[in-house]
A and B are shown apart, each in its own frame.
Chain A
């Protein structure tokens, strides 16, 4: 491995890492919003919306992100919807992540015993108050491990972004290999940069898990 080459490549990887983190962060954020909405629809058994959400979740979970990105990037312009690569990346990640987040939130919501809600209602709360103050905080603590796993999964999935010509880490590595054939250095930096991004997420996740671990230990 040539340290000089690594030194030359570093700024390029740095830029790509920033793009990966930015788009990944937005994708994760929107996924969480979509997921929470879908989980609420399923939990509250909202008619009609419930069926739509179910179809979305199956569609989203059972197709690869690469295909979803192609569909958004090359397919949607045919019906007049044009997107930039960045918007396409975030939209694709959200489409994929929304279903995973929905399942994580839903499993948390369903883990909270029904009587917790009844207990809150009997103390004069409205259903909305019971959900916000009593159900969601408990559901969240159950969901955290699955949510953290999803965040890591989604950040790794950003490596397919290169397919819609986004200059993320994967794109940069492939590009440099194509240009200079310094395969070892290029791939080494690729691994290192993904680790730099993902390790702190894992550590933060573990800390968060410990902090919210109150549910499931008896009421």
Chain B
């Protein structure tokens, strides 16, 4: 078995007295691609936000390569560099060009050399098919292009694990594919990924493991083959039925 990159033990998250995450245990190993699916409000996005300590947790622990991640801790900025996160709404910095968006953190946080970072940024932009957009501003890009820039901006930090929070949910249908293709390529490179998505066909294609969440708990886990053809629990069965049209 390869090394554990991310470990969650008994994670409980409450918000305004409501339990959002109700004891989550989860281990992600080096090179694994895990996809979390589940109905809206089941806590899957909150889970990703907790892993990045954007939300404090009430109980349990979250370990990145054995190091605890705690909201408010001093070493949080350096731990976060190892966790790449892409949000649903891209959230590029609107006052900066694509190149500035990508190079800001490597230069200011990692203190890397400007020219070296810009060279790497240009290579990554070429990989996602956006070489000609380096000097564009976010407002000049389509949703799919912005999301690919957001992925590059996260990759250049050389993270150990990549978190994707419904990254295609805000996109027009014809732009979904270009973003998913980038993610498939990352999976083929052997990156460790934890993905929250509503794209069932994509989940089936990319995942080594499907994690089904409902009501703040992990209800079922399995390979895509198992999960999509023979789900073990009634709740998973009901959830999957909602995506079928042949009945």
Chain A interface residues toward B at CB < 8 A = 113, 115-116, 118-126, 129, 133-134, 137-138, 141, 212, 214-219
Contacts and interface: CB of A to CB of B under 8 A. Distances in A.
17 contacts: A115-B87, A118-B91, A121-B77, A122-B54, A123-B80, A123-B109, A123-B154, A124-B81, A124-B157, A125-B105, A126-B77, A137-B95, A141-B95, A216-B94, A218-B94, A219-B89, A219-B93
Contacts of B104: 123, 133
Which of B85, B94, B108, B154 has the most chain A CB atoms closer than 10 A to its own CB? B94
Given A214-B95, A217-B94, A219-B94, A125 B109 contact: yes
Given A125-B105, A218-B94, 13 more contacts: A118-B54, A119-B91, A120-B93, A123-B81, A124-B78, A124-B157, A138-B94, A138-B95, A214-B94, A214-B137, A215-B94, A218-B139, A219-B91
Chain A to chain B: the 5 pairs with minimum beta-carbon distance, closest first: A124-B81, A119-B91, A123-B105, A122-B85, A217-B139
B109 A129 contact: yes
B37 to A, nearest CB: 22
Contact of A214 (B52, B54, B109, B139): B139
Given A115-B87, A138-B95, A123 B153 contact: yes
Contacts of B206: none
B77 A116 contact: no
B40 interface: no
A106 B105 CA distance: 26
Nearest to B143: A218
Contacts of B80: 121-124
Interface in B139-157: 139, 146, 153-154, 157
Interface of B: 52, 54, 77-78, 80-81, 83-85, 87, 89-95, 104-105, 108-110, 137-139, 146, 153-154, 157
A125 B138 contact: no
Contacts, number: 78
Contacts of A113: 91
A96 to B, nearest CB: 31
Nearest to B79: A124
Contact of A125 (B54, B108, B153, B154): B108
Which of A122, A134, A216 has the most chain B CB atoms closer than 10 A to its own CB? A122
A124 B154 CA distance: 10
Nearest to A141: B95
A138 B89 CA distance: 17
A115 B146 CA distance: 15
